[in-house]
């Protein structure tokens, strides 16, 4: 299920002069593909908060455990979170800009004791409390572009008297969500 409802997308598209009335199934598929593409590009699952559950993560460093996006952490390896031993980051769920961000790592005052092969079990409320507006707008733009490219073959959108014109990705989409990228998306973590 995408972060943008079909009704919201239809209302947004009607304001566009080039609106074509595709079927609901086609528009929903474009919205789902847009969300999946954005999540993959950002290396995070931006979605609404779900119920708390346990997930296991591999220990990759001495004192830092990278985790999936979450709004709360209640247990680490079955023990309540002790704030004198663990720090959830970003601290206070805030980015340097002041916007809300989910926790994405846990810093320990000592080396992680989780079994290297078994990992560390973290019980948390996974997801985002609010979907950033730049993500919903980027998803709308990308879904519209996907629909506009339905008839594009081999990346060729049109022909001129000289050559084919290639369809390109919309840089505005990635400019909107660039600040939300996890370090894993840069290939340095």
| Omega before 114 within 30 of 0, i.e. cis | no
Q: Is the dihedral of CA 7, 41, 147, 134 positive or negative?
A: positive
Q: Please tell me the pTM assigned to this model.
A: 0.73
- Classify residue 15 by burial, with Cβ atoms within 10 Å: 0-12, 13-18, 19+: exposed
Please give the chain's pLDDT, 189 residues, in tens.
688 998 899 888 876 555 566 788 888 999 999 999 888 888 888 887 778 899 998 887 678 888 999 999 999 888 888 888 899 999 988 888 888 899 999 998 877 665 556 688 999 999 888 888 999 999 998 898 888 777 655 555 545 555 444 545 666 677 777 777 777 766 654
- Of the candidates 11, 45, 48, the one whose C-alpha atom is nearest the C-alpha of residue 27 is 11
Q: How many residues does the chain have?
A: 189
Angle at 126 between CA 122 and CA 130, to 5 degrees: 150
Q: DSSP code of 91?
A: G
First to last CA, the chain: 29
Q: Tokens 């979907």 belong to which residue?
A: 131
Q: Is the dihedral of CA 101, 106, 107, 108 positive or negative?
A: positive
């Amino acid at each position: 299920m995408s972060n943008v409802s079909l009704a919201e997308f239809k209302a947004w598209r009607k304001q566009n002069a080039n609106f074509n009335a595709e079927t609901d199934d086609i528009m929903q598929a474009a919205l789902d593909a847009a969300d999946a593409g954005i999540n993959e590009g950002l290396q995070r699952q931006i979605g609404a908060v779900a119920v708390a559950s346990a997930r296991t993560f591999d220990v990759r460093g001495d004192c830092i455990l990278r985790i999936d996006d979450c709004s709360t952490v209640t247990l680490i390896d079955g023990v309540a979170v002790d704030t004198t031993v663990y720090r959830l980051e970003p601290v206070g769920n805030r980015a340097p800009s002041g916007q809300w961000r989910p926790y994405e790592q846990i810093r320990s005052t000592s080396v992680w004791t989780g079994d290297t092969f078994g990992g560390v079990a973290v019980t948390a409320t996974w997801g985002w409390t609010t979907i950033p507006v730049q993500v919903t707008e980027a998803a709308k733009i990308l879904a519209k572009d996907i629909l506009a490219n339905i008839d594009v073959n081999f990346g060729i959108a049109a022909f001129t008297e000289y050559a084919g014109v290639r369809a390109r990705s919309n840089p505005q989409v990635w400019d909107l969500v660039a600040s939300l990228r996890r370090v894993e998306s840069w290939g340095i973590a």
